[in-house]
Amino acid sequence: MMWHVIVKVGIEDNYIPNIAADAPRLLVAFDRPDDPFRMREHVLDNLKRFYGRLPSPIVTDLLFLGMATYAADMSISRSITDDDWTREITLHVPVSLHQLWTTVGEVVTKMISFLTGDKWSIEFRERIVATAPVPTQVEAFLPTKVSLFSGGMDSLVGALDLLSGDDKVAFVGHYGGGKTKTFQDKIVNKLSEEYPGRFDIHRIHVLPPLIEAKKGETTMRSRSILFIALGLAVADVCGEGVPLNIPENGLISLNVPLTGARDGSASTRTTHPYFVSLFRNLLAELNINHPLILPYRFMTKGEMLRQVTNQPLLARSVPLSMSCAHPEAERWHGGASNKHCGYCFPCIIRQASSYAAHIEDGDKSVDIINLPPDYNAKKGHDLRAVKIALARLRNRPLNRVVFDVLDSGPIPPEELQNYVDVYRRGMEEVRTFISSGR
């Protein structure tokens, strides 16, 4: 069953696709204040108010594309598909340069399909572009670097490393529901004490159209397209060539399936090398000059922590960060909703990296070493999968490890050895932690 996601931009956009009357569809509206299907966001308004300028039309196209993809991913349930996972989705998107976007349609669909594990297609059409406003209040000291800021441990390290230099930095965070903004706020407050006036912060609220009585999705596989598009929009208003930092360790970027049951789209690919490579190709074809920088792609999480210059501030800030895949889980068991669950894969990696870097995390919600969850219970699935992967890796020949890494997706040949090495080192960090008896 093919879903059609129909994007409309501006009150004069009356586009109606040539599809069957009973074809399932999702409407997503931008710059249409009274439209009941408007996207819940104010990205361009906020940038104009903050910097007195807007991104270029082509970057704005990419922003609309990212938000529409995210809306589709969040709103169309996987449960209605034949295999309870793979959806078929066509995006109908208006763009400023129709002919140029048509030439990159294949790259876009390949990129989104790899990221979410679905079958995507895309139909571009021309959109009316309003005359760019004259800047009204451009800051005298614009940021020269932009970095994604999720509120997690990796983005904290990225922030500390950038602030240790002389650049002014713009941090870009995205939040929808839940507690994400709370964690971002706490870290920002701590950074402000040490580096006043050294950075701008953009905590951007983006949610799909509010559709009543509709079961959506929580997998959010497409979130990185939205997140990077938001970062590029900020970089574009800061100036030509301003780079976008994506701080994530190599082990999580690869996200090699721990077991055969977690293969394919069951493992997220948010910063996988192949996805990033496709995104860079897209930017080059669109002549968008904002390099995507992944400074930690060949580091483990523990190595990231150890190389931070400002270790005292890192130690004070780490307990404020959030790495958990589902931090709201404890609330259903009578606990606080701002705690790490302790047993999901990101939590295990976080604990292992803190142990490797000799950093006291402060959040001891669950002791998975001395009081491990039952393997047969849902809470125990990730720890069991990790132990299976570690046992398999112990005496695994190098050529098999290479195939394990490639199982998560293609990797440029010149980077393959580096990624194999970071995978092995990252898993050894986990093995050391689990064997520690801590």
Q: What is the model's pLDDT at position 202?
A: 96
Task: Report yes or no: 252 and 271 within 8 Å, Cβ to Cβ.
Answer: yes
Q: What is the model's pLDDT at position 266?
A: 45
Q: Is 198 inside a domain boundary?
A: yes
Alpha helices in 122-272 (DSSP H): 153-163, 180-194, 223-238, 250-254
Task: Report yes or no: 383 and 349 within 8 Å, Cβ to Cβ.
Answer: no
| H or E stretch covering 398 | helix 398-406
Residue among 248, 297, 254 at smallest CA distance from 407: 254
Q: Is 137 inside a domain boundary?
A: no
Residue among 235, 238, 176 at smallest CA distance from 204: 176
Q: Is 401 inside a domain boundary?
A: yes
For residue 10, count CB atoms less than 10 angstroms from its CB and return exposed for 0-12, middle for 13-18, buried for 19 or more.
Answer: middle
- Enter the pTM of the model: 0.94
Task: Report yes or no: 356 and 350 within 8 Å, Cβ to Cβ.
Answer: no
In order of 110, 220, 350, 381, 418, the CA distances from 225 in angstroms are 13, 10, 24, 28, 25
Q: Is 140 inside a domain boundary?
A: no
**Same structural domain for residues 209 and 331?**
no
What would the two tokens of residue 379 be?
A: 């809470």
Length of the chain: 438
Q: Is 309 inside a domain boundary?
A: no
Q: What is the model's pLDDT at position 333?
A: 46
**Same structural domain for residues 64 and 101?**
yes
**Same structural domain for residues 267 and 155?**
yes
**Same structural domain for residues 254 and 361?**
no
CA angle 183, 59, 292 (to 5 degrees): 60
Q: What is the model's pLDDT at position 365?
A: 61
**Same structural domain for residues 182 and 101?**
no
Q: Is 64 inside a domain boundary?
A: yes
Q: What is the model's pLDDT at position 263?
A: 45
**Same structural domain for residues 106 and 174?**
no
**Same structural domain for residues 200 and 289?**
yes
> What domain range includes position 118?
2-126
CATH label of the domain that carries residue 181? 3.40.50.620
**Same structural domain for residues 238 and 153?**
yes
**Same structural domain for residues 339 and 285?**
no
Count of structural domains within the chain: 3
| Tokens 């001395």 found at | 370
- Whole-angstrom Cα distance, residue 434 to residue 382? 13
Radius of gyration, alpha carbons of the chain: 22
Q: Give me the tens of pLDDT residue by residue for the chain, a chain 438 residues long.
A: 899 999 999 999 999 999 999 999 999 999 999 999 999 999 999 999 999 999 999 999 999 999 999 999 999 999 888 888 899 999 999 999 999 999 999 999 999 999 999 999 999 999 988 766 555 555 568 999 999 999 999 999 999 999 999 999 999 999 886 678 889 999 999 999 999 999 999 999 999 998 765 567 777 789 999 999 999 999 999 999 999 999 999 999 999 999 876 544 445 789 999 999 999 999 999 999 999 999 999 999 999 999 999 999 999 999 999 998 876 555 434 455 568 888 899 999 999 999 999 998 876 666 788 788 887 888 899 999 999 999 999 999 999 999 999 999 999 999 999 999 999 999 999 999 999 866
Residue 412, Cβ neighbours under 10 Å: how many? 12
Residue among 101, 98, 94 at smallest CA distance from 127: 94
What would the two tokens of residue 304 be?
A: 């990231």
For residue 427, count CB atoms less than 10 angstroms from its CB and return exposed for 0-12, middle for 13-18, buried for 19 or more.
Answer: buried
- Whole-angstrom Cα distance, residue 66 to residue 93? 11
- Whole-angstrom Cα distance, residue 31 to residue 272? 33
**Same structural domain for residues 36 and 101?**
yes
Listed in sequence order, the residues at least 6 apart from 360 whose beta carbon sits closer than 8 Å to its beta carbon are 315, 318, 319, 354
**Same structural domain for residues 54 and 173?**
no
Residue among 42, 41, 46 at smallest CA distance from 74: 41
Q: What is the model's pLDDT at position 268?
A: 78
- Whole-angstrom Cα distance, residue 359 to residue 314? 9
Q: Is 202 inside a domain boundary?
A: yes
Q: Is 96 inside a domain boundary?
A: yes
**Same structural domain for residues 381 and 284?**
no
Sheet holding 2-9, edge to edge: 25-30, 2-9, 88-95, 119-126
